[in-house]
Each structure stands twice: as structure tokens, then as C-alpha cells.
Amino acid sequence: MLEIKNLHAGIDGKEILRGVDLTIQPGEVHAIMGPNGSGKSTLANVLAGRPKYEVISGEVTFEGKNLLELPAEERAREGVFLAMQYPVEIPGVNNIYFLKAALNAQRKHRGEEELDAMEFLQLAREKMKVVELDESFMNRGVNEGFSGGEKKRNEIFQMAVLDPKLAVLDETDSGLDIDALRIVATGVDNLRSEAHSVLVITHYQRLLRYLVPDFVHVLSNGRIVKSGGKELAEELEQKGYDWVDEENVA
Amino acid sequence: MIQERAAETFAKLGWPTPRIEEWKYTNLAPLAKINWRVDDAVAEVETPLTFGARAYAELVFINGRLLRQAGARLAAPADERHYGDWERNAMVALNYANMQDGGRIEIPAGTVVDGFIHLLFMGHGDGIWSHPRNQIIVGANAQVAIVETYAGNGAYFTNAVTEIVAGEGAVVDHYRLQCESADAYHVGNVYIHEERGANVTSRSVVIGSALSRAEINVALAGEGASIVLDGLFAGTAKQHLDNRTVIDHVKPHCESHELYKGILDQNARGIFDGRIIVRPDAQKTVSRQENRNLLLSESAVIDSKPTLEIHNDDVKCNHGSTIGQIEQEPLFYLRSRGIGEEEARSLLVYAFASEIVDRMKIEPVREQIRRSLFQNMPDRLPERRGGGR
């Protein structure tokens, strides 16, 4: 589904990813862990096509398409979703109007019929229950006045409505209490299926207790230095990231 | 006769030019060269901007003459005073000298008008000028909403004056929608006089015309009076949209809250000149003034000039002005969900305007403004049907 080959990328002329290789098959949940500054967020943003990030070399293919040459909106329409670390507030753009426009842009791209207001509302209500967001949030501006946890739940809500083939979660767990963590994990778990893949980017192991990954990778200094199963996350939790770096150097 | 005295004054003052400080950015001298004429032949024209039965009362004017009146009956003011500053403001003098019809309305003390009064001014035909004069006298503790709409077809010139007097404890919600034809010239002077404890909100929306000058003068002449001035101007092509506001804090314990937002595309030029005066007697004044502008093209221009003149120490005043472009973070956020770049931009332009539009209390007015904004900038703004909520 997603194939990253020798990806070098950075920001403001500074190279941050220095040769990342990663393959995700349909239905798999991968976790990328790593210390601050290892390049986790850069990887997430490069995949989503955030403009200020520059790709220096390497390849990213998504279902056989060259992802790197597509603008952000087309990546989304192909089925890539980024749950952002810091969702921006957009007063004046109504949450529900925005999400309906987004879903219909994606459906149109796939040659499916657009949902009318009633159909969309029904879908939105169903998904809102999963993330335990009150309906009153829907008529506010995008993320306007939301708490940190509400913003993250709104990301998962959007993900649930848009139903992406690949969801990339950029530190969605940071700043969440246990309840919110559980809600986020449930939302992602509901997406999990043979056709959907998830890439969880996180500093901590705690989200992975609720959302058990098939593979865990350690990113350090812009490279994946270690890969393993879910037990690797626990090992990291106990020994810390220094352990991987030391082992890597040795 | 005020007409004669005003005509003499206009002859003395002449058409405003940028030599006058208040007209630094706008030159009306080209208008002086046109041989304007009054059109007395009132004829039915298409008026897509009527609110019909949704208004409490509606008066439709064509080229400055009353065409028809519908809805509730309205009393005319007994007040024969002229609140416009015709001795100093040439355009007000020109209006008084050529004064035509307009909404002359008195709301008796203690009356709460259930609904809004709509004054629709249609300009029609090249080379026609009109001088509507409105006077709204709102009695003590009365409440009313007044909507003025200016629209039309052709290269005409509207020179309107609106006087609003809010008596003690009166509450007035005033809207002024300038949606004139793309070839029209528009000058509007609004005078708001507030007595003790009066509470006025005045919202100025400037979308139409080739050249527009919308001026609002507020006198907070009674203790504890308050004014909210909301402004939205959106220009494209070569539109020249000049907005000037003067808020005069005369008495103590008054409040003024002003937010003007400008959206300028292509070669449009926008002006915000906002002056706040706090008189020596106006202790405990609270005043906030803000002008925010969104430039959508390299060649659009904004001149923003907020001015505070404070003549006593016991006040809380702040003012500011910003000029910016579409922000990258919200743009990426919308695109990252699958919304195309053009649509995402238009959503953000709309969002910028909606801060002003959304807090208007009259739903048909909000709808009308959304439609007019879209019509003026179809490639910049999303079309909204049914309010978009």
C-alpha cells in the first residue's frame, strides 16, 4: 500500500530524514517511535504534503502512485489522512460544512455520488458517537475554542468520516488523558480492517497499549534504526531510546 | 430655507479633493465634471433586493424618489433639525441643497418595533444623481432595527445622508448595505447622535460601486451611551472603497467598539480612516478600535489610518490595524482533507468576512450580504445557499 524508499527530506534547507525505508501492507498497523528531533513529524508532514517541507531524494509510492508529486488535496483524495499534532483553529469555517465539503471532494474524485445534507448528517452523527464529541461542536468553527483533547478527538472524528485507506497519526496521543486516549484508540481500531492501514507516530508507548501495532520501528537521527513486533515498544519503554542508539552505534 | 443656505455653502466649499485632510485618499473632482441631472420620472424597476413581507415596513426609492411603501405605517419626525455637518462637509451640503425623499421616521418613546424597517434605494440610469436624506428619530427607551440598502443599474451617483438620533436608553440596530452597480459612485454620510444610556450598533457593508465613500460620525452625547461600529468592505477590479469613521466621546462612561475588515482583490484600493476623540469631560471612556485587512492580490492596496485623540487621563483605549494574506496553516489544513486549493482559499476569505456577517441579527440581511459578496467576487468566495449552516 505504502512504500517509502531511501527518503531524504527536510525543512528550511536542513536535512532531517536521512534515508527512510518503510513498507506498509494493507491492514497493517505500524508504529514509529523515537526521541524528539528524530524526524517523526517530518515524516508525517512529508507524507501529507505540507508545503514547507522539501523532499531531497527518494521515493514514496501509495498504491502504485508517486505520492510526492501530488498536491496535498490529491493525496487526501487518494486516501491518505494525517491526524495533525497541532490542529489549527479556523474561526468562520463551520466544522460540519468543512467536513462535508471535504468528504464530497473525495467522493467526487472516486467517482461516487456526493452526499446530501441529510445523508451527511446521519453519517456524522454516527461517527461523533464513537469519539464522544457533542453535536454542538459541529456548528462551531473548525477547532475553534476546542481544548487540546477535543482537537485530537476532532481529528479522529474527521478520520472516521473520511474513512482513509492510510491514516497517519502524528503524536495524536500527546497531551491526552486516559479517557481521551481510549477514545482515540477506539476510533482508530474501528478503522482497522483488511483494507485500511495505520501509521502511528508517537514518543510514548502508552497509546500502543490500547492500539496494538503489528510492527514497531524506531526512528533515530532521520533513519529507522530498529524494527520489530509490538514487544519492541515495551522494551523501549523500559530501556529508553538511548538503548537503541547505543546498540546501533555498537 | 436650509436648501438655499446649503447650496451657498456647497458653492463655497466645492467638491472635496485630497487637499482636505479628511479626503486625503479620495478625489471627487472627476465627478464635478459630469453634468448630473435629477430623474423625476419615477418608474418601476426591478428590485431583487426587496425583503417584502419579511420586513416590518419597506420603503422603495428610485433615483431619490419614493416609489412605494409596504407594511406597517410609520410616523414622520416632528424634529426639524438637521444633524448632518453641512457647514463643514461639502457632500452633506450638496445633499441638503438637493434634498430628495428618504426614510423620515420617528419611533415614539417606549415603542419596541417587532421586526426591521427596510429602506431600499435604487439608482437607475447613467448621469443621474440622487440625494436621499434619512432621518430616524428613536424616542426614549424605544427599540428599532433599520436596514438601508443601496443598489441599482448604470453609472449613476448616490449622495445619501442618514441621521439617527437615539434618545435616552434607546436601542438601535442599524445596517447599511452598499451594493451599488459596478459603474456607480456612492457617497454616504451617517450621523449618529446618542443620548444618555443609548445603545446603537451600526454595521456598514461596502461591496458595490466604482468609487465609494462611506462616512459615519458618532456623537456619544449622553452619559453611559455605547456604540458598536462593524464594517466590512470587499473590493475587486478597480474599485475604490473609502471608509471613514469618527467617534466623539463627549460625555463620561461611554463605550465604543469598532471592528472594520477589508478584503481587497485585483487592483482594488481600500481605505480605513478611523478617528476617535475623547473629550476632556469624557472620563471612564472605554474605546476599542480595530481594522483588519486581507489582501488577495499583489496589486491591491489598503491605507489604514486609525487615530486616537485623548484629552483626559481616565480612559481605557486601544486600537490597532493589521494587513495580511491568506494564512498558510489553515490553507494546508483544509487541503489536507481533500478540499482543492481554490475552494480552500475561498472558504478562508469567507471566514474572514463572516466574523462581521455572523453577528448581524437579521437572517435575511446575512443571506443578502453572502449573496452580494459572492456576486462581487465569484472566483474568491463560495456560494452559500440557506446560510451554509
Whether B356 is covered by a domain: the verdict is no
pLDDT for A250 equals: 45
CA distances to A202, A218, A221, B194 from A240, in Å: 14, 11, 15, 69
* Dihedral pair phi/psi, residue A55, rounded to 5°: -95, 125
Q: Which domain holds residue B57?
A: 2-326
Mean pLDDT calculated for residue range A65-92? 96
- Contact (Cβ atoms closer than 8 angstroms) between residue A75 and residue A18: no
**Which among B346, B356, B351 has a CA at the least distance from the CA of A90?**
B351
**Which among B212, B161, B150 has a CA at the least distance from the CA of B25?**
B212
* Dihedral pair phi/psi, residue A197, rounded to 5°: -120, 155
Angstroms from A168 CA to nearest CA on chain B: 12
Read out DSSP for B110-138?
T-EEEEEEEEEEEEESTTBEE--EEEEEE
- Nine-digit cell at B79? 424634529
B370 Cβ under 8 Å from any chain A Cβ: no
Chain B residues in contact with A93 (beta carbon < 8 A): 330, 334, 347-348, 350-351
- Nine-digit cell at A13? 534547507
Residue of B nearest to A85 (CA): B333
Among partner residues B330, B339, B348, which is closest to A105 by beta-carbon distance? B339
- Contact (Cβ atoms closer than 8 angstroms) between residue B319 and residue B288: yes
**Mean pLDDT score across all residues of chain B:** 95
Mean pLDDT calculated for residue range A217-236? 91
pLDDT for A249 equals: 54
Residue of A nearest to B354 (CA): A92
Cβ-based interface (< 8 Å): residues of A facing B: 48-52, 71-73, 75-77, 81-82, 84, 87-88, 90-94, 97-99, 101-103, 105-106, 109, 139, 141-142, 158, 162
- Contact (Cβ atoms closer than 8 angstroms) between residue B143 and residue B170: yes
**Cα–Cα distance for residue pair B272/A83, rounded to 1 Å:** 40
Contacts of residue B295, Cβ cutoff 8 Å, sequence gap at least 6: B264, B302, B323, B324, B325
Q: Do A73 and B341 touch (CB under 8 A)?
A: yes
Sign of CA dihedral A26, A28, A34, A36: positive
Angstroms from A137 CA to nearest CA on chain B: 13
Whether B246 is covered by a domain: the verdict is yes
**Which among B372, B383, B385 has a CA at the least distance from the CA of B182?**
B372
Residue of B nearest to A79 (CA): B338
Angle, CA B285 vertex, CA B284 and CA B286 arms, to 5°: 115
Whether B14 is covered by a domain: the verdict is yes
> B111-170: per-residue pLDDT in tens?
999 999 999 999 999 999 999 999 999 999 999 999 999 999 999 999 999 999 999 999
Lowest mean pLDDT among A232-246, B190-204, B276-290, B331-345: A232-246
- Contact (Cβ atoms closer than 8 angstroms) between residue A44 and residue B298: no
**Cα–Cα distance for residue pair B384/A221, rounded to 1 Å:** 48
Element (H, E) at A228: strand A223-228
- Which neighbouring-strand residues pair with B285? B315
Strand, coil or helix: what is B242? strand
**Which among B273, B204, B275, B263 has a CA at the least distance from the CA of B239?**
B263
The confidence band for A246, taking pLDDT boundaries of 50, 70 and 90, is: low
Among partner residues B330, B353, B389, which is closest to A88 by beta-carbon distance? B330
Element (H, E) at B175: strand B171-178
Total domains in chain B come to 1
**Cα–Cα distance for residue pair A33/A244, rounded to 1 Å:** 11
Highest mean pLDDT among A33-37, A129-133, B81-85: B81-85
Lowest mean pLDDT among A90-99, A185-194, B114-123, B316-325: A185-194
Helices and strands counted in chain A (H then E): 9, 12
Q: Do B343 and A105 touch (CB under 8 A)?
A: yes
- Alpha carbon A65 to its chain centroid, in Å, reads 19
Tell which of B292, B326, B333, B373 to mutate to test the A interface (max A CBs under 10 Å). B333
- Contact (Cβ atoms closer than 8 angstroms) between residue B284 and residue B224: no
Mean pLDDT calculated for residue range A54-77? 96
**Cα–Cα distance for residue pair A198/B373, rounded to 1 Å:** 42
> A20-34: per-residue pLDDT in tens?
999 999 999 999 999
- Which neighbouring-strand residues pair with B318? B288
> B294-303: per-residue pLDDT in tens?
999 999 999 9
**Cα–Cα distance for residue pair A76/A104, rounded to 1 Å:** 12
Q: Do B351 and A93 touch (CB under 8 A)?
A: yes
Whether B387 is covered by a domain: the verdict is no
**For the whole model, what pTM was predicted?**
0.89
pLDDT for A248 equals: 61
The confidence band for A190, taking pLDDT boundaries of 50, 70 and 90, is: confident
Burial A28-57, CB ≥16 within 10 A → b, else e: bbbbbbbbeebbbbbbbbbbbbbeebebee
Tell me how crowded residue A230 is: count the other CB atoms within 10 A of its CB.
16
Whether B176 is covered by a domain: the verdict is yes
φ/ψ bin of A163: left (φ > 0), alpha (ψ from -120 to 50), beta (otherwise) = left
Whether B383 is covered by a domain: the verdict is no
* Dihedral pair phi/psi, residue B183, rounded to 5°: -100, 0
Whether B129 is covered by a domain: the verdict is yes
Instruction: Please name each of the domains of chain A with its CATH number.
Output: 2-249 (3.40.50.300)
- Nine-digit cell at B313? 487621563
Helices and strands counted in chain B (H then E): 6, 19
Mean pLDDT calculated for residue range B75-93? 94
User: Does B269 have pLDDT greater than 70?
Assistant: yes
**Which among B116, B193, B206 has a CA at the least distance from the CA of B158?**
B206
- Contact (Cβ atoms closer than 8 angstroms) between residue B308 and residue B286: no
Q: How large a percentage of chain B has pLDDT more than 90?
A: 92
Whether B374 is covered by a domain: the verdict is no
